[in-house]
């Protein structure tokens, strides 16, 4: 089918500063839910951590992003701020089995240390001067203190005394107050001596305490709010209020903002508290406005920031609520239209997004500029993410990548002009399409493997796919299949002889899923990306090497001690060497004995594409990065925007963009 073509005139190359390293920040929000938030009141900064593995640093009204740090491929579940030393503590976790603690200089993006944790923490906080970072875990020996600069475990409080879900360190850093919910104990510790100063009984099973003054705090469980004397443990006031998830004290007004979850929605309420200032006075808690604001039901976190209430939303945006204004503002929006795939064919860079197909002359990689009238946009007729497979001459094959509905295979002809023709539909989603001299292999998720002849695209082979994750044509009659070992045969790899349909299982010790396969044409080496169980029963992502002619010994050449199903690999077009995203945010190259990293760019590439002397990485945030393959030098970024248009931003600060764009709204200079 033919689609309308829109031609965008280009501005000439602009320069965002010419001397030194310029810091231009793309004003893009999180790709997915925000899972953690923290404040640096001293510097007037808001930190947000997302499912996308990034920390975003914001300031101002409305919010302006001043930094993005690509921390991990794992979600960010906790953030702690060290205001004194410009550091943040971060817990990355899949929420189940894999947890890591790291400390970063957020200004430079430098990671100071990174250590695994056996359990997901309950509470995390820096000491007042940033000397150490405290972490409480759901174990008997709950409280651990780490040197904030090195990650070394400090020799304080090494004896177990029960689970702690809150602690507070004195300004001198000599005394620590811990709260143990099982016993309802407040324990004052002499940190340097490691001894108890006193133990006080108070209310048990509180979710957390919020400090109101040196002597008083408010605590809560799922049903009740308590005002507590930290010296005597006495409950001064108690009020039933079900569904509390967060309490935000405003000590300047003696007010509490309470976030609660109901059956169908969450809501904010305003309360007052009164603490005793003289002997004989009685403390009190009482509601002022029971329904201050109604908020999305999934909201469980909030912060009070300069008389504004900040809430992280599940769509990656940030809500700002103000007193007297019933309508919140939504800030920190994602402005990037994520790239689904890209390939270079016939001197054209073809890029797909859910909405569009873009065609850009690949010569911009050499010149840095783009001729007028040369960038074209075509409507994506399927409104779905599309993968791209190189075909012949000016043709590309497109296939749907989402898992929501049946798959589509289409032909995209760059010479007719830009004709898209649907050639096959599938009842089930497509897990992938692979090309070989015999035809196109189409893998349906939970369905079949089907081969289509290259010239006629007529199906000439079909076999049930079962739990197959990936495939690799080895020759005209042999397929290597990567699969889930839990299913039939109990092996992660199968050799399929297509003439006889005989299958030969291949075993790799410890591996339970082989999810990506690749052959190195110049050497006949095979590379297998797989998940295995490590020595400590943790999941590891491993890149294995074997020989095409033996398929007996599988040598691990790269190991990531966590699960990363988005890792990718490819081949350097100039040298034939292995490229992979496994293990770091930057792409790495393996020459057969030594690993070398490409220049880092504070992004996490999840897909590798190559052309001539260029390597492209499609990033987790939906942008694409470009490197020179020979040197691994970072070239720049390609960004498409949800509101239309695009930016090609070079490392040196120069950029080209679609006309009519307000570039200053998309890019901000941050000193």
Q: Which tokens is 275 given?
A: 């603490």
Of the candidates 474, 463, 470, which has an alpha carbon nearest to the alpha carbon of residue 436? 474
Q: Which tokens is 64 given?
A: 């302006």
Kindly state whether residue 9 falls inside one of the protein's structural domains: yes
- 533 membership: H or E segment, kind and range: strand 525-533
Kindly state whether residue 52 falls inside one of the protein's structural domains: yes
Out of 334, 359, 377, pick the residue that ends a domain: 334
Looking at the structure, tell me whether residues 106 and 73 fall in a common domain.
yes
Domain extent at residue 328: 29-120+317-334
Q: Which tokens is 112 given?
A: 């100071």
Give the model confidence (pLDDT) of 511-552 as tens digits. 999 999 999 988 889 999 999 998 878 899 999 999 998 888
Whether pLDDT at 19 is above 50: no
Average confidence (pLDDT) over 428-437:
96
* 589: number of Cβ within 10 Å: 19
What single DSSP character describes residue 12? Answer: P
Out of 275, 307, 334, pick the residue that ends a domain: 334
Average confidence (pLDDT) over 60-87:
95
Give the model confidence (pLDDT) of 471-496 as tens digits. 999 998 999 999 998 755 579 999 99
**414 in Cβ contact with 428 (< 8 Å):** no
Give the model confidence (pLDDT) of 127-151 as tens digits. 999 999 999 999 999 999 999 999 9
Of the candidates 460, 402, 465, which has an alpha carbon nearest to the alpha carbon of residue 430? 402
Give the model confidence (pLDDT) of 221-276 as tens digits. 989 999 999 999 999 999 999 999 999 999 999 999 999 987 778 999 999 999 99
User: How many structural domains compose the chain?
Assistant: 2
Q: What are phi and psi of 328, to 5 degrees?
A: -75, 155
Residues 6+ apart with CB under 8 A from 160: 139, 140, 141, 142
Whether pLDDT at 372 is above 80: no
Token pair 């009740």 in the structure block, residue? 224
Looking at the structure, tell me whether residues 364 and 325 fall in a common domain.
no
Q: What CATH number did the domain enclosing 100 receive?
A: 2.130.10.10
What single DSSP character describes residue 152? Answer: P
Kindly state whether residue 75 falls inside one of the protein's structural domains: yes
Q: What does the alpha-carbon distance between residue 80 and residue 297 come to, in Å, rounded to a whole number?
A: 25
Whether pLDDT at 16 is above 80: no
* 524: number of Cβ within 10 Å: 11
Looking at the structure, tell me whether residues 13 and 39 fall in a common domain.
no
Q: What is the pLDDT of residue 216?
A: 97
- pLDDT band for position 32 (cuts 50, 70, 90): very high
Average confidence (pLDDT) over 386-391:
96
- 665 membership: H or E segment, kind and range: helix 663-666
Of the candidates 64, 67, 65, 37, which has an alpha carbon nearest to the alpha carbon of residue 50? 37
Q: What are phi and psi of 364, to 5 degrees?
A: -65, -25
Looking at the structure, tell me whether residues 352 and 372 fall in a common domain.
yes
Of the candidates 193, 201, 162, 159, which has an alpha carbon nearest to the alpha carbon of residue 175? 193
Q: What is the DSSP string of 98-150?
A: -EEEEEEETTTTEEEEEEEESS--SEEEE-TTSSEEEEE-SSSB-EEEEETTT
Looking at the structure, tell me whether residues 328 and 371 fall in a common domain.
no
Question: Which CA distances in Å does 181 have to 93, 162, 261?
Answer: 24, 9, 22
- Of 365-369, 442-446, 533-537, the range with the highest mean pLDDT is 442-446
Beta strands 303-305 and 569-571 are unpaired
Q: What is the pLDDT of residue 192?
A: 84
- pLDDT band for position 8 (cuts 50, 70, 90): very low
Triad 348, 351, 352: Cα angle to 5° = 145
- pLDDT band for position 160 (cuts 50, 70, 90): confident
Q: Which tokens is 16 given?
A: 């965002």
* 584: number of Cβ within 10 Å: 16
Out of 307, 334, 361, pick the residue that ends a domain: 334
Kindly state whether residue 150 falls inside one of the protein's structural domains: no
Kindly state whether residue 86 falls inside one of the protein's structural domains: yes
Of the candidates 85, 87, 96, 88, which has an alpha carbon nearest to the alpha carbon of residue 118? 96
- pLDDT band for position 431 (cuts 50, 70, 90): very high
Average confidence (pLDDT) over 553-574:
93
Write out 340-366 in H/E/C secondary structure: EEEEEECCEEEEEECCEEEEEECCHHH
Q: What is the pLDDT of residue 400?
A: 98
Kindly state whether residue 84 falls inside one of the protein's structural domains: yes
Q: What is the pLDDT of residue 487?
A: 58
Looking at the structure, tell me whether residues 321 and 398 fall in a common domain.
no
Looking at the structure, tell me whether residues 367 and 408 fall in a common domain.
yes
Looking at the structure, tell me whether residues 17 and 50 fall in a common domain.
no
Beta strands 493-497 and 329-331 are unpaired
Whether pLDDT at 31 is above 50: yes
Q: What is the pLDDT of residue 18?
A: 31
* 50: number of Cβ within 10 Å: 22
Of the candidates 401, 409, 391, which has an alpha carbon nearest to the alpha carbon of residue 343? 391
Selected residue with higher pLDDT from 556 and 322: 556
Looking at the structure, tell me whether residues 21 and 45 fall in a common domain.
no
Give the model confidence (pLDDT) of 346-362 as tens digits. 999 999 999 999 999 99
Kindly state whether residue 411 falls inside one of the protein's structural domains: yes
Residues 6+ apart with CB under 8 A from 537: none
Selected residue with higher pLDDT from 332 and 1: 332
Selected residue with higher pLDDT from 77 and 279: 77
Question: Which CA distances in Å does 337 have to 48, 171, 354?
Answer: 21, 47, 8
């Amino acid at each position: 089918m033919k689609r309308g073509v829109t031609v965008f005139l280009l501005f000439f190359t602009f320069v965002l500063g010419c001397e030194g390293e310029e810091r231009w920040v793309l004003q893009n929000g999180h790709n997915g839910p925000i899972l953690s938030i923290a404040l640096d009141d001293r510097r007037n900064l808001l930190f947000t951590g997302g499912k996308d593995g990034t920390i975003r640093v914001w300031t101002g009204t409305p919010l302006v992003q001043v930094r993005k740090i690509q921390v991990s491929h794992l979600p960010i579940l906790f953030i702690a701020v060290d205001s004194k030393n410009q550091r943040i503590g971060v817990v990355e976790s899949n929420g189940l089995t894999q947890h890591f603690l790291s400390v970063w200089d957020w200004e430079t993006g430098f990671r100071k240390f990174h250590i695994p944790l056996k359990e997901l923490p309950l509470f995390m906080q820096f000491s007042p001067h940033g000397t150490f970072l405290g972490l409480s875990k759901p174990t008997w020996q709950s409280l651990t203190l780490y040197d904030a600069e090195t990650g070394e475990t400090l020799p304080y409080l090494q004896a177990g005394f029960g689970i702690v879900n809150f602690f507070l360190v004195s300004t001198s850093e000599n005394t620590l107050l811990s709260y143990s919910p099982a016993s309802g104990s407040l324990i004052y510790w002499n940190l340097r001596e490691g001894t108890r100063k006193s133990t006080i009984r108070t209310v048990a099973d509180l979710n957390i305490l919020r400090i109101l003054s040196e002597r008083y705090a408010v605590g809560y469980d799922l049903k009740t709010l308590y005002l507590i004397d930290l010296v005597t443990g006495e409950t001064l006031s108690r009020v039933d209020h079900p569904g509390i998830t967060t309490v935000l004290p405003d000590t300047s007004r003696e007010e509490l903002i309470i976030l609660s979850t109901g059956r169908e929605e969450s809501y904010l309420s305003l309360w007052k508290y009164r603490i005793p200032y003289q002997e004989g006075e009685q403390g009190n808690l009482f509601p002022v406005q029971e329904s201050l604001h109604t908020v999305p039901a999934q909201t469980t976190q909030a912060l009070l920031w300069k008389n504004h209430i900040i809430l992280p939303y599940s769509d990656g945006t940030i809500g700002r609520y103000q007193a007297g204004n019933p309508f919140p503002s939504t800030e920190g929006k994602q402005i990037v239209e994520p790239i689904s795939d890209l390939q270079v064919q016939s001197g054209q860079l073809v890029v797909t997004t859910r909405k569009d197909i873009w065609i850009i002359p690949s010569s911009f990689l050499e010149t840095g500029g783009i001729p007028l009238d040369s960038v074209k946009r075509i409507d994506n007729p399927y409104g779905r993410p599309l993968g791209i497979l190189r075909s012949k001459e000016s043709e590309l094959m497109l296939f749907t990548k989402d898992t929501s509905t049946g798959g589509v295979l289409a032909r995209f002809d760059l010479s007719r002009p830009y004709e898209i023709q649907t050639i096959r539909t599938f009842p089930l989603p497509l897990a992938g399409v692979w090309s070989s001299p015999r035809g196109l292999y189409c893998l349906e998720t939970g369905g079949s493997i089907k081969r289509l002849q290259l010239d006629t695209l007529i199906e000439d082979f079909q076999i049930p796919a079962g739990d197959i994750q990936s495939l690799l044509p080895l020759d005209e009659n042999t397929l290597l299949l990567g699969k889930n070992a839990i299913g039939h045969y109990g092996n992660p790899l199968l050799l399929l002889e297509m003439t006889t349909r005989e299958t030969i299982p291949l075993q790799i010790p410890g591996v339970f899923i082989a999810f990506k396969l690749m052959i190195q044409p110049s050497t006949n080496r095979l590379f297998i990306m797989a998940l295995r169980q490590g020595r400590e029963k943790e999941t590891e992502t491993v890149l294995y090497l074997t020989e095409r002619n033996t398929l007996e010994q599988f040598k691990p050449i790269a190991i990531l001690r966590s699960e990363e199903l988005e890792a990718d690999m490819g081949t350097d077009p100039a040298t034939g060497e292995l490229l992979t995203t496994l293990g770091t945010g930057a792409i790495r190259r393996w020459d057969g004995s030594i690993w070398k990293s490409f220049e880092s760019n504070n992004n996490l590439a999840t897909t590798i594409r190559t052309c001539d002397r260029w390597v492209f990485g499609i990033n987790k945030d939906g942008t694409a990065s470009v490197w020179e393959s020979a040197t691994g030098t970072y070239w720049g970024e390609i960004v498409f925007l949800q509101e239309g248009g695009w930016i090609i931003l070079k490392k040196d600060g120069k950029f080209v963009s679609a006309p009519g764009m307000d570039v200053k709204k998309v890019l901000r200079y941050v000193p």
